[in-house]
Amino acid sequence: MKIEPHVVVITHSSVSRAASLLREAGYLVTKSTPELAGSQPEAEALIVDLQWFELVLWLDEQVDDDRLLIVAPTAVSRKGVMPRTISPLNLEDDLVSAVDRIVADQRIAAYGKQQVA
């Protein structure tokens, strides 16, 4: 089991505050564009930091994924599911804790699958 959690920040921005905060917190961070986001199956969390219109279009094409955390000014709902959302205004205060929870959930689920197998 790897110790350093891998997080992918999905953005078009060359500078990402989310990526910087997560690196400072000890996460291995990879940046990806929305077009390549599906090629990151090993990531334990996917942080989506896109402009509103692009975010809505991208979410319409995605399947449900418990690893998602959306950076947006308001919560978004798609197909009756509300992914975890964090406001850009609360990024410094809440991002690392929210990602910690996603990573913990992923590791608990993976451990449970190993016990069943």
CB 88 within 8 A of CB 73: yes
The pLDDT value given to residue 2: 63
Q: Please tell me the pTM assigned to this model.
A: 0.86
Burial of 43 (0-12, 13-18, 19+ CB in 10 A): buried
Reported as a pLDDT band with limits 50, 70 and 90, residue 117 is low
Measured between alpha carbons, how far is 17 from 112 in angstroms, rounded to an integer?
Answer: 33
pLDDT in tens, 84-112: 899 999 999 999 999 999 999 998 988 88
CATH of the domain at 53: 3.40.50.280
When divided into structural domains, the chain yields a total of: 1
In a domain, 1, yes or no: no
The pLDDT value given to residue 60: 81
In a domain, 24, yes or no: yes
Tracing tokens 């590791």 back to the chain, one arrives at 107
The pLDDT value given to residue 35: 85
Q: Residue 85: name the closest of 93, 77, 108, 107 by CA.
A: 77
In a domain, 12, yes or no: yes
In a domain, 106, yes or no: yes
In a domain, 43, yes or no: yes
| Residue range of the domain that includes 82 | 6-116
pLDDT in tens, 15-58: 999 999 999 999 999 999 888 776 777 899 999 999 988 888 88
